[in-house]
Amino acid sequence: MHIRRSIAVFIAPVLVMGVVAGLNPPLAATAGANSPQDAVITFLGELPHRFAALASAAQMVSTPGTPTYRTFLTVEQAAEQFGASDAQIDRVDAAARALGLRAVVDPTRLVVRLTGTVRAWEKAMGQPITFQPSRPGSPYNEYVFSDAQDAPFPTAQDPDFWRKGYLAFAGGLQAAPKPLNKAINRFVPAYIEYVPADDVPAPATAMSGAAQRNSIPTYSSPSSGSTTGRSLYFPGSTTQVRPTNPATALMKSCLNNPAAPIAQGFSVNNFIGHNQVFDAYGLSALQRASGAAASDRVTIISMGGGFSDQDFAAAAACFDFKKPAVKMTLGTGVRSPFVNINDETTLDVQTVSSTLKNARSIQMVQVAPSVAGADFVDAYTRALTTPIQPHAITLSYGNCEPLIADRGMYPTLESVFQFAAVIGTTVTVSSGDGGSSVCQEQSADSLDSFYQLLEEALSGLQDEPAGSIDAQMSEELIAGLEIAIAEITPFVAYSRPTVAYPGSSPFVVSVGGTQIQLNPNGTRAGESVWNSQPYAGGAIGNLVGTGGPSASFDAPWYQKPLTRNDVRSVPDISALAGNTPGLPVVYQGTILPNGGTSQSSPMMAAALAMISAREGQAKRPPIGFANPWLYQVVRRSPKTVYDVTVGDNQYAVEYAPGSFNIPGCCQADLGYDQASGLGVLQFNELIKYVNR
C-alpha cells in the first residue's frame, strides 16, 4: 500500500533559512509564482444530502436476512432518494453564478464541482491564490487558497493530540466564500492540474517493491526487549532466513525459462506462481466458471500513476492471462492519461488482470493527488458513475487514520462508500503496509529526512570558519532542524496502535496481508501474517500488513458478533502480500517479486467481482458491499476461510538513534483477529453460500 502525503494530509512544513522542508514537494511551496488569471480551475464541495437515511439503506441492502438485501438501486434512483434535493441544487447553482462561477453537480448528487477562472475565484475568496507551477519530475500546476495558521505541535500527553497534529502538519484551507458557504457542507479550495510534459516516463534508477525495500540501510538494535509477552523481531537481526518456494518447477509461467528477465539479485526461488496461489485460494475454478463475464466490472483507482503497456503485455504472456483493454476515466485536472511508469499502478493492473484471467477489459480512474480527501472523493464518484457500473473498485492508497478521517472531505467519502453499497458495488481497500504503526511509520519518514539534513549541516559547519556568515547560517539551520526533530518525535514515538484510512472505513472491505508457504508438491503448507521485517536485513519501510483498532469509527454491526470490540477493527480479510517469496510483476522490462496489501486488495476485488459476474449470468443481483455477508458466512461455515493463526503485525519504528517504538498489536489467533481478519477466503467453498 502506498502512503500518500499532501498539504492537508501529512505535511510537516519547517521554515529554515527561508526554505520550506516538507514531506511532499507538491503543495508545500510558498506563493511566489504569478498565477495565470485566465486559467480555469475547479474545486470540490459536498452537497447537503440525507446522511442518516443513506447510511441506514446501505446497512439494510448489504445485510443478509433484511427485506431489502441485495435489492439495489440505480445511480439515478440512489441520487434521487439520498442526494441533494432540486431546491438545494438550485441554491448552490445560484450562489455559484452570483460569484461568476459554474456549478456542475455529480450524478450521485453528493458532490458539486465548482469551476471558474483564477480571477473569478480570487475575487470570490477575497484573497490571492497560492500558485506553484509544474516542473520536471513534479508534473502538477497547483492552485490553493490556504488559511495560514501557526499551530503548535502537540505533546504526546495532549488529549487532543491528533486534531492539533493535523493543524500543525497541514495548516488550514480557506472556507467557501459567501453565499456559497451556506449552500454546501464541505469545501476544498485546491486544484491540481496534471502537466504531461513535466512527467517522467521512467526514471533510470527506478526500483519496485522488494527491490526498493531491500535497498534501505540497516539500523542498530534497541537495547531493551519486548514488554508485550510475545517474541518480536528487532531491526538488525541476522538470524532470520528468507523463505523460498520449494515448488518452483510447478509454476506455470516463463519464470522457469533460463532466459526470463528476472531482476538482478533474485532467482526463480524468490517467486511463487499465480496458478499456485489461485489453486490454494480456490480461485482457479471460479476463473474458469466466470470466463469473461467480469469484463469492465473491476475499476482501479490510480492517483498519479501510469503504467507501461509493454510491461503489461509481457506479464500477460509470462503469467498466463489474457491482456484486457484498460478503459480510462480521467479525474478533475487530468486531461490525458499519466505517462509515468508507476510501480503501484503497474501492480494493480497486472494483479487485477491475472486474477480475472479472461477479462476483455477493465476500468481505471486516474486522478491527480490532491488535498484533504478531494482526490479520493473525485475518484470514487467518477468510478461509480461510469457507463458500465463496476462490481468492485480497488484502492491501494491510504493515510494515518486519526490524523485525517474526520477532516476535510474525508467524511464525504463515507457517504460515497455508502452510496456504493446502495447501488451494489463492493469497495476493497488495502489495509496498509505499516503494521500496527501506520502513523508512526509515516512520521518516521520525515524524521529520517531531518536527521539526514542535520548530519549534513553538522558536517558542513565543521568546514566553516568560526563566526563567518556561512557558519551562522549553518547554526541557524541546525537549530531549526533540532526544533523540527523535537516536534515530530512524539508522532513517531506515539505508543498506541494506528491504522490507515480509508482502509478503516466501516463500508469498505479492508484487505490485509499474508505470506503463503508451499509444499514441494505445490499445495499450501501454511499461511501466516505478512511481516517481512525479519527478512529485510534490518530495513525499515513498508514491510508489514496493517491491522488493529480504529481510532475514528465504532464497531460496525457486522463485526460485533465476531470481534466483540467497541471499535472498528481491520483488516476484514487477507490475501497474499508477502514477497518472500512473492508473486511476480513485470516492471520496466524486468521481473520482480512484489507484494504488499497493494497486491491483496486488487486480487480480492477481482475475485469478488467474478462472484458478482456469475450472479449476473444467473440473472441475480451482484453481492454488493460484501462484509456483512462474509462475516455471517464465516461464522456459520468456518471452512469458507483459511484461518491464519500464525504471526503478528507488530512493527518496529525508530524515533531516535537506537530507540524503537513497537505498539503492542496484533497477534494472529483462532477466528477473527486484528492481524489477518477473518482469514483468507476459500472461494471454492464461499461460492456455495452466495444465495443461502
392-424 pLDDT tens trace: 999 999 999 999 998 999 999 999 999 999 999
Closest CA to 226 of 664, 609, 680: 664
Distance from C-alpha of 448 to C-alpha of 560, rounded to nearest angstrom: 39
In the Cβ-directed half-sphere of 389, how many Cα atoms lie within 13 Å? 24
Q: What is the largest CA-CA distance in the chain?
A: 82
Closest CA to 168 of 495, 490, 487: 487
Strand residues in 264-391 grouped as ranges (E):
298-303, 325-330, 361-367
Distance from C-alpha of 113 to C-alpha of 92, rounded to nearest angstrom: 11
The last residue of a domain, from among 428, 462, 487: 487
User: What average pLDDT does range 18-32 have in this prediction?
Assistant: 32
280-300 pLDDT tens trace: 999 999 999 999 999 999 999
Residue 144 has pLDDT above 50, yes or no: yes
Domain count, the chain: 2
The last residue of a domain, from among 487, 517, 547: 487
Shared domain check, 425 and 318: yes
Distance from C-alpha of 644 to C-alpha of 670, rounded to nearest angstrom: 7
513 inside domain: yes
Shared domain check, 345 and 334: yes
Which neighbouring-strand residues pair with 361?
A: 325
Nine cell digits for residue 482: 533540532
Shared domain check, 680 and 573: yes
pLDDT at 20: 22
Strand residues in 547-589 grouped as ranges (E):
548-554, 567-570, 573-576, 583-587
Q: Is 347 exposed, middle or buried (0-12, 13-18, 19+ CB in 10 A)?
A: buried
645 inside domain: yes
Distance from C-alpha of 432 to C-alpha of 476, rounded to nearest angstrom: 38
Shared domain check, 578 and 480: no
pLDDT at 465: 75
C-beta of residue 240 within 8 angstroms of C-beta of residue 534: yes
Shared domain check, 458 and 319: no
Distance from C-alpha of 494 to C-alpha of 17, rounded to nearest angstrom: 29
Closest CA to 108 of 162, 52, 165, 54: 54
Coil vs helix vs strand at 49: coil
Shared domain check, 284 and 259: yes
pLDDT band per the 50, 70, 90 thresholds, residue 444: confident
Shared domain check, 343 and 254: yes
Distance from C-alpha of 234 to C-alpha of 531, rounded to nearest angstrom: 12
pLDDT at 230: 28
1 inside domain: no
528: domain CATH number is 3.40.50.200
Distance from C-alpha of 435 to C-alpha of 530, rounded to nearest angstrom: 9
pLDDT at 541: 61
Nine cell digits for residue 167: 493543524
Strand residues in 273-344 grouped as ranges (E):
298-303, 325-330
Nine cell digits for residue 657: 538513534
Shared domain check, 586 and 568: yes
Cα dihedral: 171, 177, 181, 187 (round 10): -40
Percent of the chain with pLDDT over 90: 68
Q: In terms of residue numbers, what domain contains 290?
A: 209-436+497-689
Shared domain check, 385 and 262: yes
Residue 681 dihedral angles phi and psi, to the nearest 5° = -65, 140
Residue indicated by cell numbers 460569484: 99
Which neighbouring-strand residues pair with 15?
A: 20
Closest CA to 597 of 570, 619, 578: 578
Nine cell digits for residue 354: 491475472
Shared domain check, 663 and 531: yes
258-280 pLDDT tens trace: 999 999 988 999 999 999 999 99
463 inside domain: yes
pLDDT band per the 50, 70, 90 thresholds, residue 7: very low
C-beta of residue 634 within 8 angstroms of C-beta of residue 640: yes
Distance from C-alpha of 689 to C-alpha of 672, rounded to nearest angstrom: 19
Cα dihedral: 348, 349, 352, 355 (round 10): -110
Shared domain check, 269 and 312: yes
169 inside domain: no
50 inside domain: no
151 inside domain: no
The last residue of a domain, from among 487, 519, 547: 487
242-251 pLDDT tens trace: 788 999 999 9
Shared domain check, 646 and 539: yes
Q: What is the pTM of this model?
A: 0.90
**Cβ neighbours for 418, distance < 8 A, ≥ 6 positions apart:** 54, 55, 57, 58, 507
pLDDT band per the 50, 70, 90 thresholds, residue 233: very low
661 inside domain: yes
69-95 pLDDT tens trace: 999 999 999 999 999 999 999 999 999
